[in-house]
Amino acid sequence: MWDWFVNFLANVLSALEQFSGDWGLAIIILTFIIRLLVMPLMTKSTASSARMQALQPKMKEIQDRYANDPERQAEEMRKFYAENKFNPMGGCLPVIIQMPVFFALFTVAKQVPADAHFLGVLPSLSVSASEMFASSGLAGAWVYIVFDVAFGVLTLIPMIMNLSNTPEEQRQTSLIMGVVMAGMMLWFGWTVPAAVLLYYDTSALWQVVQQKIVTQRVMDKVKRETEEQMKNQPVQVDVVRKEKKPRPHKKG
């Protein structure tokens, strides 16, 4: 099944190359097509994350109230999820589903012919920035280096944009993790074939645009609706029933 899917994407990429006359353009077009197809899943994941953030204060309240009673806490959390029609795994599932698609596309991008190029800007898509630097020095590798740096920067930008949706006490940690991730992507982009780097640059650029135009709007809308729903919910009073004890009988 996996080989069939990879071969299918390879045939699509080859057809796009014949249509566009350029392997680099074919990779960009195929990346756009894949991104369009998985956008509904990403939107669903974003909406689930937004609901999680809006419901977090109430969830924290339940956790604190029943901190000494794990069974009651779990019961109240299940009840809370059911009342608000919320699945805590809803944000993860769409991401998990789409990962095989991106891994397959990564595999296909590594298989481009040795003479594949991108509009003359990248003379060979089959070599990496490190290989080009080793063979041609900075003069021959500078374009590859630019694409690699762009990958790192485009990886970091969505994380910075998402800081506004992160709790204040977690923002510094999130920023540090974003910088570390961007550094790892720089190293990764330095070692992979330029075809893969072009695919990731295109995908990361799409992510930035989607974050700006779609993701933030979806998050704001869902958070606003969820918060309004929470305001309209009746206040629940935690009543603890006392155990009835048998009355003592008077002795005759």
In this prediction, residue 152 carries a pLDDT of 92
In this structure, of 133-137, 190-194, 203-207, 247-251, the range with the lowest mean pLDDT score is 247-251
Tell me the pLDDT tens digit for each residue of 127-159.
999 999 999 999 989 999 999 999 999 988 888
Q: Could you report the per-residue pLDDT of 78-97, keeping only the tens digit for each?
A: 887 777 777 666 656 556 76
Secondary structure in 3-state letters for 149-200: HHHHHHHHHHHHHHHHHCCHHHHHHHHHHHHHHHHHHHHHHHHCEHHHHHHH
- pTM, two decimal places: 0.74
Q: CA dist 155 to 134, 212, 234, Å?
A: 26, 14, 43
Per-residue pLDDT, 189: 92
Per-residue model confidence (pLDDT) at position 219: 65
Cα distances (angstroms) measured from residue 80 to each of 27, 47, 63, 77, 179:
45, 18, 11, 5, 36
Q: Please compute the mean of the pLDDT values over residues 173-183 and round it to a whole number.
A: 89
Q: Mean per-residue pLDDT for 19-37?
A: 91
Residue ranges of domains in the chain: 2-231
Q: Which of 24-33, 116-125, 139-148, 239-248 has the lowest mean pLDDT?
A: 239-248
pLDDT greater at residue 168 or residue 247: 168
- Neighbouring-strand partners of residue 193: 128
